[in-house]
Amino acid sequence: MLLVWPLVCWQLWKRLDPGRALIWSVLGGYLAMPPLTAINFPIIPDLDKISIPNLMALYCAIYVAGDRIRFLPEGKLGKLLIVLYTLSPFATVLTNADPIQFQLNQLQGMRIYDSVAAVTNQVIVLIPFFLARHYLRGAEGARKVLEALVLAGLIYSVPMLIEVRFSPQMNVWVYGFFQHDFFQTIRQGGYRPVVFLPHGLWVAFFALMCLVAAMVRLRAVTAEARPKAFLVLCYLAFMLFLCKSAGPMVYALGLAPLVLLTPWRWQIVVAAILAAIVLTYPMLRGAHLVPLQQIVDFATGFSADRAYSLQFRIDNEELLLARALERPLFGWGGYGRSFLHDPVTGQMTTIADGAWVIVLGIYGWLGYIGEFGLTALPLLALGREAVAKYAAEFNRYTAGLALILAANMVDLLPNATTIPFTWLMAGALLGEAERMHHARLANRRSQLRAGLHGGAPKRTVI
């Protein structure tokens, strides 16, 4: 499959418009290609289910579609965040050349080779961001993304249902190995699906994205098509329930009234607020402003096992946050250096689940601001447009996609669910935020000119 997928991408770009070809190259590769498997060449990063679709999408955009891609955003802040995200590994390597000694062994120091590989990998990861900003900006681009999610959810439900009934075996049947701890797939007397993703939590969050996309579609279709759209929504909600993951179900309950009942402008504002909270979360945790005990007590009311798991995560995060603050600016680097270890054997004594604490420990505040700031930038930019005078009108597709990206950012607190589609959504929304910024400036100029000619300036109604 690793060797076949480039041919699949090439055919997609030959047969579809560039926007849809990009979506299915990235999303299809993420859903269908084998996890934890890579072609490992010297020097260059591993070729796996992330890098192969990304690189092929870039190749096809340049050589099949014949387009010129602008890789940097328009604003200075976006350019700075991309520089931080891609180049901060250099600083991390230079400040972590020292090995970490234990009585029986040691953890090696970082090498210049590590920085070259890390920077190259960071650039490859951002390819969907760059391409989506070019091809998927605007209401039509967001609509294509949401339609693809609904269709992908319906297709992927077939192997998901098989695994719910017969246990997670698709990866074993197709690729010959199981990608995680089988015990973690057992939930509530049954199984939760994994299919070809790293863990059942990734499948659950994918099901959530598909469900929210179906909610947006329900409001968008005509009255005649609404019964069918409602049945699709109910089916995808049932699939999310079968995933047996509390977090995505809580997200769905919170997002449903927003998507189905509120104006687009409010949805954008909520998405921007959520992005700001996630972006500042490490500072809130460090200042003890997050009500952790109340959250654990709330979880206890649902399940003692889930509350124990949450408390275990929180305890480990507190230890890892203290560890990260020992080298706050550039982090500890790779090879497990950001974890706590037994002083004698060197065995790890902590684990990390949330992307926020993983990134902060490895790359420090510079890397964290680069990654999370770049993910939050489209939502914050759209939020600025939502409250600005002379703002252009929003559309339901952009608002729905913004809420999905905001939910993805929130899920980065308990889990590390940054996927290629995360960057694709962020790029599409940043392109739309830039377009709306230009439209707002044009509205302002036109209304000011109208005022000079005797007409009172009017504010655009959203």
> Above 80 in pLDDT, residue 451?
no
| Spatial CB neighbours of 315, under 8 Å, sequence gap ≥ 6 | none
Residue 306, pLDDT > 50, answer yes
Question: How many angstroms separate the CA atoms of 349 and 252, rounded?
Answer: 34
Cα dihedral sign for 270, 364, 35, 56? positive
Distances from the Cα of 299 to the Cαs of 24, 306, 316, in angstroms?
37, 7, 18
The answer to whether 46 touches 39, Cβ cutoff 8 Å, is yes
User: Contact at 8 Å (CB) between 410 and 271?
Assistant: no
43-57: string of b/e by CB count within 10 Å (b at 16+)? eebebbbbbbbbbbb
When the pLDDT of each residue in the chain is averaged and rounded to a whole number, the result is 91
Residues shown for the chain: 462
Single out the residue of 162, 195, 208, 153 nearest to residue 27, CA to CA.
Answer: 153
CB 49 within 8 A of CB 29: yes
How far is residue 12's CA from residue 189's CA, in Å, rounded to a whole number?
A: 41
Residue pair 446/150 in contact by the 8 Å Cβ criterion? no
- What is the Cα–Cα distance from 90 to 63, expressed in whole angstroms? 31
In degrees, to the nearest 5, what angle opens at C-alpha 106 toward C-alphas 101 and 109? 90
- Per-residue pLDDT at 460: 46
In angstroms, the CA 58 to CA 55 distance is 5
Q: pTM here?
A: 0.93
> Cβ contacts of residue 19 below 8 Å, gap of 6+?
135, 136, 140, 141, 144
d(CA 250, CA 258): 13
Q: Is the pLDDT of residue 453 over 80?
A: no
What confidence tens digit (pLDDT) does each residue in 151-171 have? 999 999 999 999 999 999 999
- For the cut 60, the answer to whether the pLDDT of residue 185 exceeds it is yes
Q: How confident is the model at residue 226 (pLDDT cuts 50, 70, 90)?
A: very high
Going by pLDDT thresholds of 50, 70 and 90, the confidence category of residue 124 is very high
Asked if 129 and 426 count as a contact pair (C-beta separation under 8 A), the reply is yes
| Residues near 232 by beta carbon (within 8 Å), at least 6 away in sequence | 150, 154, 214, 217
pLDDT-wise least confident of 53-57, 132-136, 415-419, 443-447: 443-447
Q: What is the pLDDT of residues 21-68, one digit of tens each?
A: 999 999 999 999 999 999 887 767 789 999 999 999 999 999 999 888
Lowest mean pLDDT among 127-141, 264-278, 296-310, 366-380: 296-310
Sign, CA torsion 354/360/363/366: positive
- Pair of tokens at residue 1: 């499959």
| pLDDT above 50 for 462 | no
Q: Give ∠ CA 120-125-131 in degrees, rounded to 5.
A: 115
pLDDT tens digits for range 360-381:
999 999 999 999 999 999 999 9
H runs (alpha helix) in 388-419: 396-411
- Give the pLDDT confidence score for residue 43 in this predicted structure: 67
- Residue 191 has what DSSP assignment? E
The residues near 455 (Cβ < 8 Å, ≥ 6 apart) are none
Rounded Cα distance between 213 and 236, Å, is: 10
pLDDT at 134: 93
Q: Is the pLDDT of residue 252 over 80?
A: yes
Question: Distance between CA 197 and CA 67 in Å, rounded?
Answer: 32
Share of the chain above pLDDT 90, in %: 69
Four-residue CA torsion sign, 298, 302, 307, 309: negative
- CA of residue 75 relative to chain centroid, distance: 22
For 436, the enclosing helix (H) or strand (E) is helix 420-452
Structure confidence at residue 443 (pLDDT): 82
Sign of the Cα torsion 72, 73, 76, 80 reads: negative
6 — pLDDT class (breaks 50, 70, 90): very high
Task: Give burial (CB, 10 Å; 0-12/13-18/19+) of 174.
Answer: middle
How many percent of the chain have pLDDT more than 70? 97
Q: Residue 305's pLDDT is what?
A: 73
